[in-house]
Amino acid sequence: MKDWWIYQGPGDADARLSRLAAQEPPWRRFTGVPDPDYSRPGAESAAWQETRRRGEGYVPDQAEKEAVNTALYLRRPLLITGKPGVGKSTLAHSIAADLGLGPVLHWPVTSRATLRDGLYHYDALGRLHDANLHSLGAQPAPAPEAARTAASLWARRATVQARTAAAVSGPSGIAPYLRLGPLGTALLPVKKPRVLLVDEIDKSDIDLPGDLLTVFEEGSFEIPELARVAKQHPRVRIGTDDDPEAGALVEGGRVRCKAFPIVLLTSNGERDFPAPFLRRCIRLHLEPPSKDKLVRIVRQRLGLTPDDDTAYADLVADFITRRQDGDLATDQLLNAVQLRLSGAWTDPGDRNRFLDTVLQRLNGPTAPGG
Q: Please tell me the number of Cα atoms within 13 Å of 39 on its side-chain side.
A: 6
User: Which one of 238, 256, 286 terminates a domain?
Assistant: 286
Query: Backbone dihedral region of 145: left (phi > 0), alpha (psi from -120 to 50 degrees) or beta?
Result: alpha
d(CA 263, CA 78): 6
Q: Return the CA Rg of the chain.
A: 26
- Do 185 and 88 share a structural domain? yes
At 134 the pLDDT is 59
d(CA 184, CA 222): 10
pTM tops 0.75 = yes
- Do 208 and 271 share a structural domain? yes
Question: Which residues are paired to 81 by β-bridges?
Answer: 267, 285
67-77, pLDDT tens digit by residue?
999 999 999 99
- Do 241 and 325 share a structural domain? no
Under the banding of pLDDT at 50, 70 and 90, the label for residue 370 is very low
- Do 200 and 65 share a structural domain? yes
Tell me the average pLDDT of the chain: 88
Q: Please report whether residue 170 resides in a domain.
A: yes
Q: In this model, does residue 297 exceed pLDDT 80?
A: yes
Q: Please report whether residue 367 resides in a domain.
A: no
User: Which one of 135, 150, 175 terminates a domain?
Assistant: 175
Q: In this model, does residue 189 exceed pLDDT 70?
A: yes
- Do 339 and 197 share a structural domain? no
- Do 153 and 209 share a structural domain? no
Quote the domain boundaries for residue 259.
13-120+176-286
How far are the Cα atoms of 180, 234, 267 from residue 115, in angstroms, in the given order?
12, 24, 17
- Do 63 and 185 share a structural domain? yes
Its sign, for the CA torsion 39, 45, 47, 50, is: positive
At 12 the pLDDT is 96
At 8 the pLDDT is 97
Residue 149: burial class (beta carbons within 10 Å; 0-12, 13-18, 19+): exposed
Q: Please report whether residue 364 resides in a domain.
A: no
Q: Please report whether residue 230 resides in a domain.
A: yes
Q: In this model, does residue 347 exceed pLDDT 80?
A: yes
108-118, pLDDT tens digit by residue?
999 999 999 99
- Do 112 and 205 share a structural domain? yes
- Do 74 and 152 share a structural domain? no
At 129 the pLDDT is 66
**What is the total count of domains within the chain?**
3
d(CA 284, CA 281): 10
At 160 the pLDDT is 40
- Do 137 and 185 share a structural domain? no
137-164, pLDDT tens digit by residue?
555 555 555 445 555 545 444 444 444 3
- Do 314 and 180 share a structural domain? no
Residue 301 phi, psi (nearest 5): -70, -40
Q: In this model, does residue 323 exceed pLDDT 60?
A: yes
Under the banding of pLDDT at 50, 70 and 90, the label for residue 174 is confident
At 364 the pLDDT is 61
241-291, pLDDT tens digit by residue?
999 888 899 999 999 999 999 999 999 988 889 999 999 999 999 999 999
At 40 the pLDDT is 92
d(CA 40, CA 104): 11
User: Which one of 157, 175, 193 terminates a domain?
Assistant: 175
To the nearest whole percent, how much of the chain has pLDDT over 90? 76
Q: Please report whether residue 345 resides in a domain.
A: yes
- Do 80 and 226 share a structural domain? yes
